[in-house]
Amino acid sequence: MSIESQNPATGEVVDTFDETSAEDREEHLERATETFEEWRETPVEHRQQLLSTAADVLRDGAEEYAQLMTEEMGKPIGQARDEVEKCAWVCEYYAEHAAEFLADDFVAGEPDARTVVAYQPLGPILAIMPWNFPFWQVFRFAAPNLVAGNVGLLKHASNVPGCAKAIEDIFREAGFPEGAFTSLLIGSDEVEDVIGDDRIQGVTLTGSDGAGRAVAETAGSELKKSVLELGGSDPFVVLEDAPMEKTVETAVQARLINNGQSCIAAKRFIVVDDVYDEFLERFVEEMDAQTVGDPSDEETDIGPQAREDLMEVLHGQVEETLEKGGECRLGGEPMDRDGAFYPPTVLTDVPDEAPADDEELFGPVASVFRVPDEEAAIEKANATRFGLGASVWTDDLERGERVARRFESGAAFVNELVKSDPRLPFGGVKDSGYGRELARDGIREFVNAKTIWVQHDAGEETGMVE
């Protein structure tokens, strides 16, 4: 069978790919297992060098890869270029720091013993990745795991098969051995069998909490390590002393980046009463000023939603919110044009338990809530089953940090939008998942932290490092 990728802005077919057959899947799994036995013994310095080369390959083909993302899922072309550069950055980051992160930890113990914690790779790791950041999500997994000595198998979203194959080609061109990174063009109904395969040693997923529960259940039944980065409904808290011009400017960016299709996008704007009217007026005005159009046009701020059915789900959430008593201040209807275009939308007076209050709205729809004070803002920010990111806006940085520490989230930002950074651990709490990606924490998720105890005769020099 074949898989078609479609341009969501035009409906035209971008390319056609053959699905991975059962026979090919078996061959890929076997090759990955064989490659791991050699790859794990490859000096980390050589793995780092190959990762550095992958960064060069990314930059050399940046325009090609950016255009591919824009064609397959509708990302504005400028943001697509930024995504390629961020992938190169994460490769360079681990190319520089992997040896340090994987070095043995010498632990003080008995005086006549040498005790060490060694970090050793586990084997083939399955990555189940989404379409919204079709390069970055994959490289966020691949860079630390490949340099740690694991091998990767990618089950990418079905609407970005071209991106999946391009990423596989990037690692091959960089010099990684055959089987170190493989794309499996398979359906979601085949994922359970792959997780259950004895050769797979771990699984990571970025996606919805529903998908996360299914993957965690399967991985748990097989006693395999899993890392889940799931959905979010990030609060964006505006206190009375917020620097309003910067706050509004960033609020628009935080809600509309990637056409509003980001797990860590700000979705619930929680504004104290003293500045609510000012914020809402300026926010609606700036949202309305954004240019919706062809994502390949340099002047476009917002492209289409990635698929027609996803836009329909988003619109259904908006309609249900309005039926329950919410008010629409801007947008609220699919645009009358070809393609899956939904306009910037602002909802207010959102009732408790309406979709715009307790579900993730994955598109350019902002919910704005009025609260009386800081304490109520924190309470509302935490009144969600999600816990991925959060931000607070204030002129008092000590106050901001105090509020940030009270957010129930994996990341909290003061006077900045929520974002991922290779130097910092990334992940969520509650229904936003568990485990961490990036930084030292990320490279150590899929390794065996092995305790090694070497007993010496009494009085013998242990060689402990102080």
Q: How many Å apart are CA 448 and CA 125, to the nearest integer?
A: 13
Q: How far apart are CA 125 and CA 226, in angstroms?
A: 9
Residue 247 near residue 393 (C-beta atoms within 8 A): yes
Catalytic residue among 87, 91, 163, 263: 263
Assigned token pair, 152? 């990767």
Instruction: Give residue for tokens 């990635």.
Output: 306
163 annotated active-site: no
Residues 6+ apart with CB under 8 A from 85: 58, 59, 62
How many residues are given for the chain? 466
Can 229 be counted among the known catalytic residues?
Answer: yes
How distant is the alpha carbon of residue 355 from its chain centre? 22
Query: How many angstroms separate the CA atoms of 150 and 142, rounded?
Result: 9
β 447-455/113-121 pair status: antiparallel
**Surface-to-core class of residue 52, CB atoms within 10 Å of its CB (0-12 exposed, 13-18 middle, 19+ buried):** middle
Sign, CA dihedral 153-206-75-1, equals positive
Q: Which residue has the tokens 């105090």?
A: 402
Phi and psi at 277, nearest 5°, equal -60, -45
Are 331 and 345 spatial neighbours (Cβ–Cβ below 8 Å)?
Answer: yes
CB 350 within 8 A of CB 326: yes
Q: Which of 229, 359, 360, 408 is catalytic?
A: 229
Q: What is the per-residue DSSP string for 60-114?
A: HTHHHHHHHHHHHH---HHHHHHHHHHHHHHHHHHHHHHHHHHSPEEE---TTEE
CA distance 125 to 145: 8
Q: Which long-range contacts (CB under 8 A, 24 or more apart) does 96-99 make?
A: 96/48, 97/440, 98/44, 98/47, 98/48, 98/51, 98/144, 98/147, 98/148, 98/443, 99/44, 99/45, 99/48
Burial class (CB within 10 angstroms; exposed 0-12, middle 13-18, buried 19+) of 189: exposed
- Are the C-beta atoms of residues 135 and 169 closer than 8 Å to each other? no
DSSP 35: H
- Strand (E) positions, 178-312? 181-183, 202-206, 225-229, 234-238, 266-272
| Residues with a known catalytic role | 229, 263
